[in-house]
Amino acid sequence: MSDLKGRTKKFAIEIIRFVQSLNNHPTHRVIGNQLLRSGTSVGANYRAACRAKSDADYKYKIKIVEEEIDETGYWIELLIESGILSTSKVQSLLKEANELTAIFSSISIKLKAKSK
């Protein structure tokens, strides 16, 4: 659990640094703001999940984390597929977003199966 806390915090810091490096073009600002919101909320929401008051609360909060990390991957993909940035500039962020999405999706699936 603490490994994921550290990993999601590190990811948020990488997102912050990346967004700061974008130029001031209106498209970069809009996508950068969306990326900043979703990418930094992953760790914050995971921390909230770790402090859940019940199993149902934990399950609900993990689902939010899953949604936020998936959204973060979407914004990164938009930057790449629109040609705004080359894949090499954001490859490590996309890789980590995809890995975290897989992790939190797996947790969510296990929680859903456990509650049946």
Domain holding 77: CATH number?
1.20.1440.60
Residue range(s) defining the domain that contains residue 57: 2-114
Asked if 100 and 42 touch (Cβ cutoff 8 Å), the reply is: yes
In the chain, % of residues over pLDDT 90: 85
Which pLDDT tens digit goes with each residue over 34-78?
999 999 999 999 999 999 999 999 999 999 999 999 999 999 999
Phi, psi of 115, deg, nearest 5: -80, -5
Count how many domains the chain has.
1
C-alpha 75/C-alpha 59 separation (Å) is: 25
